[in-house]
Chain A
Amino acid sequence: MTLETVGFWVVAVVLLASSLAVVLTPNLFHAVLYLAAALVATGVVFLLLDQPFLFAVQLLLYAGGVVTIVVFAIMLTERLVGERLVQTSRHLVNGAIVSAAVFVGIAGFLIRSPLDGARPAQSADVTAAIGRALFGPFAITLELLGVLLVVALLGALHFARSEE
Chain B
Amino acid sequence: MIGLSAYLTLAALVFSIGLFGVLTRRNAVGILLGIELMLNAVNINLVAFARFSGNVTGLVFTLFTIAITVAEVAVGLAIVIAIFRVRRTVEADRLDLLRG
Chain A residues close to B by CB (< 8 Å): 2, 4-5, 8, 12, 15-16, 19-20, 22-23, 28, 31-32, 35, 38-39, 42, 45-46, 48-51, 54, 57-58, 61-62, 65-66, 69-70, 72-74, 76-77, 80-81, 85, 87-92, 94-96, 98-100, 102-103, 106-107, 110, 113, 115-120, 122-123, 126, 129-130, 133-134, 138, 141, 145, 148-149, 151-153, 155-160
The reply to whether A102 and B19 contact each other, CB–CB distance below 8 Å, is yes
Bound Cα distance A116, B20 (Å) = 29
Task: Determine the distance from Cα of A126 to Cα of B18 in the docked complex, in whole angstroms.
Answer: 30
Contact of A89 (CB < 8 Å), options: B3, B25, B40, B79 = B25
Neighbouring A residues of B32 by C-beta, 8 Å: 70
Q: Is the interface of A mostly helix, strand, loop or mixed?
A: helix
Interface contact A98-B40, CB-CB below 8 Å: no
Given contacts A42-B44, A87-B25, contact A130 B30 (CB under 8 A): no
Contact with A along B30-47 (1 / 0, CB 8 A): 101110110010011001
> With contacts defined as CB atoms under 8 Å apart, how many contacts are there between chain A and chain B in the complex?
234
Expressed in whole angstroms, the Cα–Cα distance for A70 and B23 within the complex equals 19
Query: Which of the residues A15, A69, A107, A117 comes within 8 Å of B77, measured between beta carbons?
Result: A69
**Interface size band for B:** 35 or more
**A117 to B2 CA separation, bound complex (whole angstroms):** 11
CB distance from B40 to the nearest CB of A (A): 5
